Structure 1
Amino acid sequence: MIESAVASRWFRRYPPPGGVVAKRLVCLPHAGGTAGMFHGWAGGFGPGVEVLATRYPGRQERFGEECVTSMKELTDEVVRALLPLSDVPLHLFGHSMGASLGYEVALRLENEHGVRLAGLHVSSRKAPHRVDSPPVYLGGDAAVIEAVAGLGGTEAGLLGDPDLYELVMPALRADFEIVGTYLAQPGYPVACPVAAYVGDRDPGVSPVDMAAWADVASGGFDLTVYPGDHFYLAPQRDALLRDLAARIA
């Protein structure tokens, strides 16, 4: 019962039609992102696939909770919440910061709990042994806002509204601290297949950067480049979902 409550707190669940779950796709948002960005993905992967949109603390339904500020703590919490749901094959999709989180979760599940993922899908984020995010958070709110605006995130528009600023900013501060303190590492391989995605006009991550994920993909690797910037996955949603659905199937 306790573990079920933990999972309910961490994931917004979208069951497949008919309610019989054969596989799960766990979606991990970007810095400042919310589970809501994956609402339109529900039902997009065929019969038997449940979508789990991850709810980070400090936003939406978890607004009253303290934000997490380290990758290790965030990984610990997501792994704990996922373990009761690993009774069927798991796929992880992480965008930007969520891609790094997905990699860490995959390593932890495989190496400490014997759970081999069916697939790790990473989007718009350099590979763990190539990551070089500057510590933007040390520059205060102004530096974080400038970084968000430069990437084209929807959060940038919300920050212009004084009434929304204090709702959005704490999560951004915390997530940019996670990103800024997540340093390059040896790049331990994951056993599952890895699929990488990126926009061809992403200002911070190139297709060459994403190709380096092959170095940690002992189970196979594929790269798909879409037209678009860091948030290509909004205008390219249908194409991305078709690709993901084919891989999950």
Structure 2
Amino acid sequence: MRLVCFPHAGGSASYYFPMSAALSPAVEVAAVQYPGRQDRRREPRIEDIGELADRIDAELRADGDGAGLPMAFFGHSMGAVLAFEVALRVERRGERGPVRVFASGRRAPGRFRSDTVHQEPDALLIEEIRRLGGTDSRWLEDDELKAVVLPVIRSDYRAVERYRSRPDAVIDAPVTVLTGDADPHTTLEEAEAWRAHTRGDFALSTFSGGHFFLERHQAAVIDTVTEALGPYLEPR
């Protein structure tokens, strides 16, 4: 089967190399590369979650490599929002949607906070990045790299902080939520609120750690994904 992975704000497709290596060959990991970074760095950045979800949905429809394969979605932080929005678009067309959506490190779509990090000066944006962890701190000390990376992160923050979902938006796909018990951006109650956004079954896995708990618990996270996808995998 195919697992489509959606990176966090400022993240890139390469973030999911470890998951791809661990799940191969039973699961083909297809990681989304957002415009404006790495090999797509010359493309205009997209600062609207709806537009980005539309673009990703169109790419998945046009990609013949995964035709006929059951698929699941995994998204971390901003990626969890995009996984949900793309699933909504697939299901609204009446097509076969993901067999499961894994929403990691993000509060439920109907839960909003008045975050304005994207409006802060560079120094405060960098402070927020350090606070969350999950980013190689070496580039934060390099002015040339900062000039390249900070605009990408700011654009992603602008997109996700302005995102608003209808509180009654629901997908048919079952949802597995993964969250850190010390994540400053998602309380356990906000993680549990994903239950209201699926007509399928719901599971919540809590890990010790903050926003990027999945790096500390990489093996356990992959085990959680493997176990949930087990019923859909054919023996080889």
Q: 2:210 aligns with which of 229, 232, 247?
A: 229
* Closer, same or farther: CA 230–86 of 1 in aligned 2, 3 Å: farther
Give me the whole-angstrom Cα distance separating, in 2, the residues matched to 1:195 and 1:120.
6
Contact kept, 8 Å, 1:86 with 1:115, in 2: the verdict is no
Counterpart position of 1:170: 151
Contact kept, 8 Å, 2:6 with 2:80, in 1: the verdict is yes
Residues matched between the structures, number: 227
Counterpart position of 2:42: 64
Q: Which amino acid aligns with 1:211?
A: E
Stretches of structure 2 that go unaligned for 5 or more consecutive residues are 231-236
Give me the whole-angstrom Cα distance separating, in 1, the residues matched to 2:57 and 2:50.
11
1:55 is the counterpart of 2:33: yes
TM-score of the aligned structures, taking structure 2 as reference length: 0.90
Counterpart position of 1:8: none
Counterpart position of 1:248: 229
Q: 1:192 aligns with which of 173, 187, 206?
A: 173
CA root-mean-square deviation = 1.6
Contact kept, 8 Å, 1:44 with 1:245, in 2: the verdict is no
Q: Deviations over 1:14-60 (max 9, x none)?
A: xxxxxxxxx10011111001111111112323643100111111111
Paired residues for 1:214-225 under 5 Å: 214-225=195-206
Q: Deviations over 1:137-179 (max 9, x none)?
A: 1224333223222212315542221121112112111101101
- Greater relative contact order structure (CA < 8 Å, 6+ sep): 2
Contact kept, 8 Å, 2:134 with 2:215, in 1: the verdict is no
Q: How far off its partner does 1:68 sit?
A: 0.8
Give me the whole-angstrom Cα distance separating, in 2, the residues matched to 1:40 and 1:31.
18
Give me the whole-angstrom Cα distance separating, in 2, the residues matched to 1:115 and 1:76.
17
Give me the whole-angstrom Cα distance separating, in 2, the residues matched to 1:110 and 1:43.
29
Q: 2:57 aligns with which of 62, 79, 83?
A: 79
Q: Which amino acid aligns with 2:146?
A: Y
Q: Equivalent residue of 2:91, what SS? A: helix
Q: 1:43 aligns with which of 21, 27, 39?
A: 21
Contact kept, 8 Å, 1:137 with 1:143, in 2: the verdict is no
Give me the whole-angstrom Cα distance separating, in 2, the residues matched to 1:102 and 1:110.
12
Q: Equivalent residue of 1:233, what SS? A: helix
Give me the whole-angstrom Cα distance separating, in 1, the residues matched to 2:138 and 2:182.
21
Contact kept, 8 Å, 1:155 with 1:168, in 2: the verdict is no
Contact kept, 8 Å, 1:30 with 1:96, in 2: the verdict is yes
Stretches of structure 1 that go unaligned for 5 or more consecutive residues are 1-22
Contact kept, 8 Å, 1:79 with 1:105, in 2: the verdict is yes
Give me the whole-angstrom Cα distance separating, in 2, the residues matched to 1:145 and 1:242.
33
Counterpart position of 1:112: 93
1:121 is the counterpart of 2:99: no
1:208 is the counterpart of 2:208: no
Q: How far off its partner does 1:247 sit?
A: 0.9
* Closer, same or farther: CA 131–168 of 1 in aligned 2, 3 Å: same
Q: Which amino acid aligns with 1:168?
A: V
Give me the whole-angstrom Cα distance separating, in 1, the residues matched to 2:137 and 2:43.
22
Counterpart position of 1:20: none
Counterpart position of 2:117: 136
Give me the whole-angstrom Cα distance separating, in 2, the residues matched to 1:54 and 1:113.
23
